[in-house]
């Protein structure tokens, strides 16, 4: 037997039932597929901070392909140089060392106006005449799908050394670098004739077992004779080494009674290094070289080898550049790029 309910009591009861059941009825269709969303507290999404490369100093770069001057923010310029001059798959500490050399190189040019008589008041070119530089757009085309990952790593290297340069007696050094050593770096005076106290020959054993440590080149006999102004008659080893450098490269060599600097032969024959042997075989000369580049300053593959061995970028640069300090770059106000 049902008891009679007063109208007010009835409406209150209905309201309670609806307010309790309605939310459950609305959620029910989704709960079987997304029950974990109901039971688990949503995780906070953390976005990785993008390092800032903002810089108030602009570098006037002569773009050789476009034949125009482009002003590039300093740290963006350094990023473009590191990306162009060192493989992105190198260790982060090696990339940091490269960032320091790139920033130091341009700082020295900006402060001492050593860029030369370049068009449009440019301080530097984007070519091997100075340092190779590529823009973001150029790197995107070059790297394709690998661009985001590679650029993230290079940006980190540049950001973590931001504003830092290598100095000697308080001034930016001539931060020369090259690809691969022959086991030693070279005294600057042995290659360029100019002595820099921080560019001294050091052992660089980390370059061995790298792709560019030993290379073989074949050059036609006629080309060798024409370029050197000699006649090579007999098969076998060509020339006699009369002097070696501190970096175990050829200082002087005699071919067909004519004396040459090792650097001179390297440049005339387009050899990868001044540590070479030449062998005549019928109508060809086979050149076997050790190392790749002039050999002065920091070896890039050596830097990567040091990084693999656990050395940090500060240890790397102070090993290859003797007696240097890592300093904050303070542009010379009298050499402002705005006046160029």
pLDDT tens across the length of the chain (340 residues): 444 454 444 444 444 444 444 444 333 333 333 322 223 333 333 434 445 566 678 999 999 999 999 999 999 999 999 999 999 999 999 999 999 999 999 999 998 765 557 888 899 999 999 999 999 999 999 999 999 999 999 999 999 999 999 999 999 999 999 999 999 999 999 999 999 999 999 999 999 999 999 999 999 999 999 999 999 999 999 999 999 999 999 999 999 999 999 999 999 999 999 999 999 999 999 999 999 999 999 999 999 999 999 999 999 999 999 999 999 998 866 554 433 3
- Position 333 scores a pLDDT of 60
Check: CB of residue 265 under 8 Å from CB of residue 228.
yes
- Position 113 scores a pLDDT of 61
Supply the DSSP symbol for 273. -
Helix (H, G, I), strand (E, B) or coil at 333: helix
Spatial separation of the C-alpha atoms in residues 20 and 3, rounded to whole Å: 24
β-pair partners for 214: 290
- Position 18 scores a pLDDT of 40
Check: CB of residue 288 under 8 Å from CB of residue 216.
yes
- Position 78 scores a pLDDT of 97
Check: CB of residue 69 under 8 Å from CB of residue 122.
yes
Spatial separation of the C-alpha atoms in residues 236 and 281, rounded to whole Å: 7
Q: Which residues are CB-contacts of 209 (< 8 A; sequence separation ≥ 6)?
A: none
- Position 68 scores a pLDDT of 95
Structure-token pair, residue 5: 């309910």
- Position 216 scores a pLDDT of 97
Check: CB of residue 181 under 8 Å from CB of residue 295.
yes
Spatial separation of the C-alpha atoms in residues 94 and 312, rounded to whole Å: 8
What is the pTM for the complete model shown?
A: 0.81
Check: CB of residue 177 under 8 Å from CB of residue 321.
no
């Amino acid at each position: 037997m049902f008891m009679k309910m007063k109208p007010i009591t009835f409406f209150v009861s209905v309201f309670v039932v609806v307010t309790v059941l309605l939310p459950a009825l609305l959620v029910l269709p989704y709960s079987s597929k997304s029950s974990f969303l109901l039971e688990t507290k949503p995780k906070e999404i953390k976005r990785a901070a993008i390092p800032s490369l903002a810089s108030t100093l602009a570098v006037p770069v002569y773009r050789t392909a476009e034949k125009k001057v482009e002003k590039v923010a300093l740290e963006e310029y350094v990023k473009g140089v590191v990306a162009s001059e060192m493989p992105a798959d190198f260790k982060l500490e090696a990339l940091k060392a490269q960032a320091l050399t790139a920033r130091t190189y341009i700082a020295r040019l900006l402060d001492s106006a050593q860029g030369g008589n370049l068009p449009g008041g440019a301080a530097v070119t984007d070519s091997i005449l100075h340092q190779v530089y590529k823009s973001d757009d150029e790197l995107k085309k070059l790297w394709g799908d690998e661009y985001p990952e590679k650029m993230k790593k290079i940006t980190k290297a540049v950001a973590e050394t931001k504003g830092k340069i290598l100095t000697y007696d308080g001034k930016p050094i001539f931060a020369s670098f090259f690809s691969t050593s022959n086991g030693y770096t070279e005294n600057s005076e042995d290659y360029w004739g100019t002595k820099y106290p921080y560019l001294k020959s050091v052992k660089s054993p980390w370059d061995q077992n790298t792709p560019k440590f030993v290379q073989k080149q074949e050059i036609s006999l006629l080309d060798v004779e024409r370029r050197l102004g000699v006649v090579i008659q007999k098969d076998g080893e060509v020339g006699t080494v009369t002097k070696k450098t501190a970096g175990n490269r050829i200082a002087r060599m005699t071919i067909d009674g004519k004396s040459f600097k090792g650097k001179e032969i390297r440049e005339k024959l387009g050899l990868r290094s001044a540590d070479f042997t030449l062998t005549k075989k019928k109508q060809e000369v086979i050149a076997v070289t050790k190392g790749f580049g002039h050999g002065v300053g920091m070896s890039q593959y050596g830097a990567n080898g040091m990084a693999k061995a656990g050395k940090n970028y500060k240890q790397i640069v102070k090993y290859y550049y003797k007696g240097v300090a890592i300093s904050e770059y303070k542009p010379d106000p009298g050499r402002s790029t705005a006046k160029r």
